[in-house]
């Protein structure tokens, strides 16, 4: 029998996101529980999963996020990576959303 292999990720209960309204120059950090939705101005932000790398590896966080805008439907759905925020960013003229960490 093979020994069990440790998981590469540690599941967390919530995501800390930084949301910026580009027009107003307003930046706010919000905490969203996994499986929950919050509203930030015209955006509705759902966090489906949030995890961090194994504590023995270099620290990084990943969150699967869906973002909806009033009257426009889903405008983003995918993984956000804290260490590489430009890898899969929200493409929106009025808002930026970054992952800060998972808690």
Number of domains in the chain: 1
Domain-located, residue 48: yes
- With respect to residue 59, please indicate whether it lies within any of the assigned structural domains: yes
Residue 4 located in a structural domain: no
Q: Is 3 domain-assigned?
A: no
What residues make up the domain containing 34? 9-102
Instruction: Provide the token pair at 58.
Output: 């270099």
How far CA 22 is from CA of 31, 34, 60, 63, 89, in Å, comes to 20, 26, 26, 22, 15
The pLDDT value recorded for residue 90 is: 83
Residue 50 lies in a domain: yes
In a domain, 1, yes or no: no
For residue 9, what pLDDT is reported?
Answer: 85
Token pair for 16: 């800390």
> Residue 61: inside a domain, yes or no?
yes
pLDDT in tens, the chain (103 residues): 444 444 578 899 999 999 999 999 999 999 999 999 999 999 999 999 999 987 777 789 999 999 999 989 999 999 999 988 777 678 899 999 999 999 9
pTM of the model: 0.85
Q: Has residue 53 been placed in a domain?
A: yes
């Amino acid at each position: 029998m093979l020994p069990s292999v440790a998981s590469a990720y540690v599941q967390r209960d919530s995501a800390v996101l930084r949301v910026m309204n580009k027009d107003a120059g307003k930046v706010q950090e919000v905490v969203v529980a996994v499986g929950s939705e919050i509203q930030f101005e015209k955006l509705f932000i759902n966090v489906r999963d949030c995890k961090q790398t194994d504590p023995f590896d270099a620290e990084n966080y990943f969150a699967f996020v869906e973002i909806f805008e009033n009257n426009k439907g889903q405008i983003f759905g995918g993984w956000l990576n804290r260490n590489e925020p430009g890898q899969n960013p929200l493409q929106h003229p009025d808002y930026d959303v970054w992952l800060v960490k998972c808690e």
